[in-house]
Every structure is written in structure tokens, then in C-alpha cells.
């Protein structure tokens, strides 16, 4: 479950992620990985405590080298965002002020709209221990905050970046129900195939006296057919079931470990 795959499309666009005075290289690396997972690529650092470049960051980025290699460092937040048109500040704490507060879904939708309109955008994330100052939040256009458990609201920085990156990725999908891969395609069964299963099963059971007493047979058949019908089996599934019935119907049990009594156990049978 790791590493880049050069044969597959590498998505690398969207808002810049700006980390203000990040402390640990590992966190910067995990941020880069989270960004890469969801198609973001532009990482900016304001005054990282342990300097830059950082081998710890590169290692924690799990091969998100395209993010690490392009990371830019700034001395002040003002410099880090001067070329951007619209900036969100992330915060878990209520801030006293008039600035609009958005959920991640709304913020990601706004970022996607601005991206499509050609605007440059960014999302600010604060220090690991205490986030952004009020002065830093004031430089942003709007606030984004996460719908967390009220009694356990602390998200680490890489998790916060992951969630915003994930919501960003989702706004680029035509359908949030879409998945990158699908189950094997199955053809819906025709009624003829369903009736074939009914008859096959009922004949095999009838031959064993399953429908007893005979007066109850119509009701028993009804119930059996109801169980099978409501599952909406595909053509392939009906084929599987008919194979199962044939096997049970035609062949004797060859041997049984438990009782040794049912059928014959051939001498050279492999376990």
C-alpha cells in the first residue's frame, strides 16, 4: 500500500497548503503525503522550527517527493500568501470576530470554484501545539473548522491537512458515490434462468422426499421460490447455484472425517 505508481495519473494541482511555524519534520512529511494522496502538490512553510530541507520530512512523506522537492520556505506569513487571491485559515478554537466560518465541505467547494475561475488559493494550518494566532487568522479571508467530537476536538496537523485535501479531491469528482474500481460486472438474470434454478432445485429435493407431506408441497415451493426470488441473483450467481445443486444432487459424499460413515473414502484421497 505504498509508493507512487508512474503508470498512473499523478494529480498535482489546487490550493497551496501553508504551514505556519511547523515544529516537527515528521509532521511536515506526513502533511506532504496526505496532500499527495488527494492530488495537492504545493506546500509552503513559514519559518519551520528545524529548518529546511528536512530528511525527517522526506522520510515521513513516503515518496511524496514531488511535494517535498517543490516545498518553499518563507520568513513571514505575509510573504507566503502574497501571490494568492483567497485564503482559508483552519482553526479548532472559536475566534471572536466577524470572519465567516465554513465547514470543510463548503470550504472545499469554494476552493474548487475559485480554482476553476483561475484564482490562486491557499489553506493555512497553525503550529502543532497552539495553532494560528489571531493576527494570522486575520490575514485569511474565511475560517474553516472541522465537525469534531466536542469533548475530543484535537486533530493533529497532518490529519487536518488530510481532511481538507480529501474534501478538495471529492469536489473534483462528478459523483461522490463513484469508486476507483468496481466489482466484476454481472448480467441480470432473465426469468427463464430463475425458473431453471427453481426447477433444478425442486426436482432434486422432490427426488429425496423433501416436500412432505405432499399436501404442503405448493406452500413449500412458494416459500422456497420467495427466498430465491427476493435476492435478485445475477446470471453468474444462478450458474454458481446450479453447480452447487448438481454437485449435491449427483455425487455421493466420498468420505467424512467426523463420522467415517457417509459414503466411501477412497484410499488415496489427499486431505
CA distance 142 to 202: 67
* Of 99 and 200, CB closest to a second copy: 99
Are 87 and 81 within 8 A, CB to CB?
Answer: yes
Q: Tell whether residue 166 is a contact of a second copy (CB under 8 A).
A: yes
Q: Tell whether residue 131 is a contact of a second copy (CB under 8 A).
A: yes
Nearest alpha carbon to residue 124 among 88, 155, 157, 94: 88
Q: Which of 47, 133, 234, 239 touches a second copy (CB under 8 A)?
A: 234
Burial class of 125 by CB neighbour count within 10 A (0 to 12, 13 to 18, 19+): buried
Q: Tell whether residue 162 is a contact of a second copy (CB under 8 A).
A: yes
Q: Which of 49, 72, 85, 97 touches a second copy (CB under 8 A)?
A: 97
Q: Measured from the CB of residue 185, what is the shortest distance to a second copy in angstroms? A: 9
* Of 18 and 35, CB closest to a second copy: 35
Residues facing residue 72 across a β-bridge: 44
Q: Which of 21, 47, 74, 128 touches a second copy (CB under 8 A)?
A: 128
Q: Tell whether residue 145 is a contact of a second copy (CB under 8 A).
A: yes
Give me 160's grid cell. 487536518
Q: Which of 139, 169, 220, 224 touches a second copy (CB under 8 A)?
A: 169
Helix/strand/coil for 270: coil
Secondary structure, 3-state, 183-221? CCCCCECCHHHHHHHHHHHHHHHHCCCCCCCHHHHHHHH
Q: Which of 138, 148, 248, 265 touches a second copy (CB under 8 A)?
A: 148
* Of 8 and 258, CB closest to a second copy: 8
* Of 183 and 252, CB closest to a second copy: 183
Are 46 and 77 within 8 A, CB to CB?
Answer: yes
Total number of residues shown for the chain: 271
Which residue is listed with cell 426469468?
Answer: 191
Q: Tell whether residue 39 is a contact of a second copy (CB under 8 A).
A: yes
Q: Tell whether residue 261 is a contact of a second copy (CB under 8 A).
A: no
* Of 169 and 245, CB closest to a second copy: 169
Angle at 132 between CA 15 and CA 112, to 5 degrees: 20
Q: Tell whether residue 37 is a contact of a second copy (CB under 8 A).
A: yes
Q: Tell whether residue 130 is a contact of a second copy (CB under 8 A).
A: yes
List Cβ neighbours of 156 (8 Å cut-off, separation of 6 or more).
27, 128
| Residues near a second copy (CB under 8 A) | 1-6, 8-11, 33-34, 36-39, 62-64, 92-94, 96-103, 105-106, 128-131, 143, 145-156, 158-159, 162-163, 166, 169-170, 173, 176-184, 186, 234, 236-237
Amino acid at each position: 500500500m505504498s509508493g507512487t505508481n508512474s503508470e498512473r495519473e499523478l494529480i498535482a494541482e489546487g490550493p497551496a497548503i501553508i504551514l505556519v511555524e511547523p515544529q516537527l519534520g515528521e509532521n511536515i512529511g506526513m502533511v506532504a503525503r496526505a496532500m499527495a494522496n488527494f492530488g495537492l502538490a504545493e506546500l509552503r512553510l513559514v519559518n519551520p522550527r528545524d529548518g529546511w530541507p528536512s530528511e525527517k520530512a522526506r522520510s515521513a512523506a513516503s515518496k511524496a517527493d514531488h511535494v517535498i522537492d517543490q516545498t518553499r520556505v518563507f520568513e513571514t506569513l505575509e510573504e507566503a500568501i502574497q501571490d494568492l487571491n483567497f485564503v482559508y485559515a483552519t482553526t479548532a478554537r472559536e475566534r471572536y470576530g466577524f470572519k465567516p466560518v465554513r465547514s470543510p465541505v463548503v470550504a472545499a467547494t469554494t476552493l474548487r470554484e475559485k480554482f476553476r475561475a483561475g484564482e490562486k488559493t491557499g489553506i493555512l494550518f497553525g503550529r502543532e501545539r497552539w495553532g494560528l494566532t489571531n493576527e494570522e487568522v486575520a490575514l485569511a479571508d474565511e475560517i474553516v473548522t472541522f465537525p469534531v467530537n466536542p469533548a475530543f476536538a484535537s486533530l493533529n496537523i497532518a490529519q487536518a491537512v488530510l481532511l481538507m485535501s480529501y474534501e478538495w479531491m471529492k469536489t473534483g469528482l462528478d459523483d461522490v458515490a463513484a469508486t476507483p474500481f468496481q466489482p466484476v460486472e454481472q448480467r441480470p438474470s432473465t426469468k427463464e434462468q430463475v425458473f431453471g434454478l427453481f426447477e433444478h432445485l425442486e426436482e432434486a429435493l422432490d427426488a429425496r422426499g423433501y416436500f412432505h407431506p405432499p399436501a404442503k408441497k405448493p406452500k413449500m415451493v412458494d416459500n422456497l421460490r420467495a427466498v430465491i426470488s427476493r435476492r435478485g441473483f445475477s446470471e453468474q450467481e444462478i450458474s454458481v447455484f446450479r453447480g452447487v445443486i448438481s454437485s449435491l444432487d449427483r455425487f455421493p459424499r466420498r468420505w467424512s472425517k467426523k463420522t467415517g460413515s457417509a459414503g466411501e473414502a477412497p484410499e488415496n484421497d489427499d486431505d
